Amino acid sequence: MRSVAPLLLVGTLASACAEQTSTSTSTSLITSRDGGVIRGSGSVDVLYAGSLVGAMNKVIGPAFHETTGYTLAGLPGGATALANEIKDRVEVADVFISASPKVNATLEGSSNGNWASWYLYLAKAPLVIGYNPNSSFASELKAKPWYQVMTRKGFLLGRTDPKLDPKGVLTIKLVEQEAQKLHDPRLVSQILGSPENPAQVFPEETLVSRLKAGQLDAGFFYFNEAVLANIPTIETGIDLGATFTVTVVKGAPHLRAAESFIQFLYSHRGQVLLKKVGLTLVAPKLFGSINQVPPPLRSIIR
């Protein structure tokens, strides 16, 4: 797990009250117009979709530490891959943030180890095309249909692995839908090659840096990634994107810190920061029984 170093952001701490104790650390409740966020010390281990790496490292993590005293220890990656690591006990997590509700289903039920019994909807982000403004294809991407430019010889496209990341699945689905609209089934192979084309497929958490380094002409990103990295984008014309969800993982070793982190995400400051990093906020709809949700988090749903 990579620790997110605490950085000072603009803002002031709310007053601490309602002293409580846990088995490992002393905690208190920070009151605000949002209700309250648990304060304490130590770290919270969060496995999160790689498309949030910039947001977590630069914005959410530092603000969470400043507000609560806890430190975010985050591991980014493809949501599908992270879910598999939870099930296989490769990684021990307190919180899991997925980019697709479908991934959560792979952690639910006795056959999947009951690692997740509930989750909350957090935010959304559309799938867009981000391009390198210094690319020799940049002017064409701004002037011509994206699918025409991507079939040009020498065009370097980046995307994520559909076996490991929901965005990789959505990318293929988007190109397939465009091919159907154009009645041109050849378009899929012309743009993508094979579903797992090694010339195009890269880890989600490295795609932004590859594009900015000039190793790619364009790639498929969620809008929030592009906003935070100042990457120019093109809309695809097809309504596909991420739906981010959050849950506490069964047996979370730092339960109090996990509760604090989720409270922070839905606090006024947390919601402002989520918007700042390019996410579209959604109501905290609950999937699962409220009885499975830790008591300190139930007020979020209400």
pLDDT (tens digit, 9 = 90+) per residue, 202-218? 999 899 999 999 999 99
The domains spanning 2-124+243-301 and 126-241 adopt the same CATH topology: yes
pLDDT of residue 128 exceeding 90, the answer is: yes
CB-CB neighbours of 299 under 10 Å = 12
Stretch 85-90: mean pLDDT:
96
Stretch 54-72: mean pLDDT:
97
pLDDT of residue 225 exceeding 70, the answer is: yes
pLDDT of residue 36: 79
| Domain 2-124+243-301, CATH class in plain words | alpha beta
Measured CA to CA, the distance from residue 10 to residue 118 in angstroms comes to: 33
Mean pLDDT, rounded, of the chain = 90
Tens of pLDDT, residues 156-178? 999 999 999 999 999 999 999 99
Amino acid type, 187: L
pLDDT of residue 255: 98
Q: What are the extents of the domains in the chain?
A: 2-124+243-301, 126-241
Q: What is the DSSP track for 265-278?
A: HHSHHHHHHHHHTT
pLDDT of residue 163: 95
Q: Which fold has domain 126-241?
A: D-Maltodextrin-Binding Protein; domain 2 (3.40.190)
